[in-house]
Structure 1
């Protein structure tokens, strides 16, 4: 029987037919401002707050203070408490970039993930992660190493990624093949602002609802509405992310 890790995000777990497959890696893609970091913050916070599952948050873009402020601004009020008690462990950009050899820092993080009590990991974001490797072969080697070690140690992982279109015109990246699930956060401009949507495009070993659902980012974080959207995925030029 397949074990599931619940996200705790309002309305999302029903789309996922119960949650994300445990010990899997899911890619959460979208353009800047789509809600990817908020998604990751909720996934880690809800793990502790609702399911007694500790989490690690790797941020290549924010420092600890920024993450705390972002979490508290959407109502994740016990974030600092969970960090102080080491139920949430953060590696922020200052720690990740403190060593001249980035690969050394990454090796230390991977060692920390081995045989630990942590069950969830968020890497925010792959776009920044990849900038630290000049050589494509080295980048692929460490990405493979990262995902393999997390899976071997029973960690359920989210990785965020910048993507400007649902159907990118460039080659599909290696990360799309490495991940067990693909979730897209979409935005479309309107006269009054922006409409937001979520599309679960792939989840291995799991029956999912592949409709596109409206979402809101409000107090408490992301909320997924049950009514499927009329938003069409058929024309990527008309509907960019």
Structure 2
């Protein structure tokens, strides 16, 4: 048995056989609007709410107010209080993009980490992370370095990745092999909206269910359903996304 970190997502922890392996770095991929950022927000929120585990949210794309509004839009009303109390530390785009190079940004993070114990981290997203680097080789080198830093600091981390292809034409990049797990968020259009799905393609050290499962986004965040759970395949017009 390995120690795991529960995601806080109804149904997903069952697929993961309990949760994500502690100190793992997991790649979360999908098209825009599939629920990746809501997943990251919910992961940190559940850590504080249910497990007294502090979290870090790093965003290269949104400011802190945008992130708070996204959290509140799915019912996480205490997000702002958690940030004010220091239970969730937010590094938004105004912080991350003002640094001239990756090492300076990481040094700032490590200084802030010192003396405070964090358990969970979300990086949103790897697409913007790559702006620090001049070429793909340098990008991959620093991604590996960053993953090592996260593990050494005892963080169980989600790295969000914008994926251009539409399932099943998935794009397999080197980042898929550098991380401990791969979770895909998928959506398909319908006459009434979209159908949403989640697929756990890989999770090292875990016996996982690699089937594709339906999911919804609503008040309370993401819910993942068993195939026999009565999930409506007609979609919904009032599902928020971020």
TM-score computed with the length of structure 1 as normaliser: 0.90
Matched, 1:3 2:13: no
CA offset at residue 72 of structure 1? 0.4
| Matching of residues 181-200 of structure 1 within 5 Å | 181-200=181-200
Pair 228,105 (structure 1): closer, same or farther in 2 beyond 3 Å: farther
**Equivalent residues, number:** 229
In structure 1, the residue matched to 2:45 is: 45
* Deviation sequence 1:75-126 (CA, Å, 0-9, x none): 0010001000000000000000122334311332144446640000000000
- What is the distance in 2 between the residues matched to 1:107 and 1:174? 25
Indicate conservation of the 8 Å contact 1:114/1:153, yes or no: no
Q: CA RMSD in A?
A: 1.8
In structure 2, the residue matched to 1:62 is: 62
| Matching of residues 101-180 of structure 1 within 5 Å | 101-113=101-113, 116-163=116-163, 164-166=165-167, 168=169, 172-180=172-180
In structure 2, the residue matched to 1:77 is: 77
Unaligned 5+ runs, structure 1: 230-241
Moved more, 125-134 or 58-67: 125-134
In structure 1, the residue matched to 2:240 is: none
TM-score computed with the length of structure 2 as normaliser: 0.89
Unaligned 5+ runs, structure 2: 230-242
- What is the distance in 2 between the residues matched to 1:189 and 1:166? 12
* Deviation sequence 1:2-48 (CA, Å, 0-9, x none): 00000111111111111011110111100000010000000011100
Matched, 1:18 2:21: no
Indicate conservation of the 8 Å contact 2:58/2:91, yes or no: yes
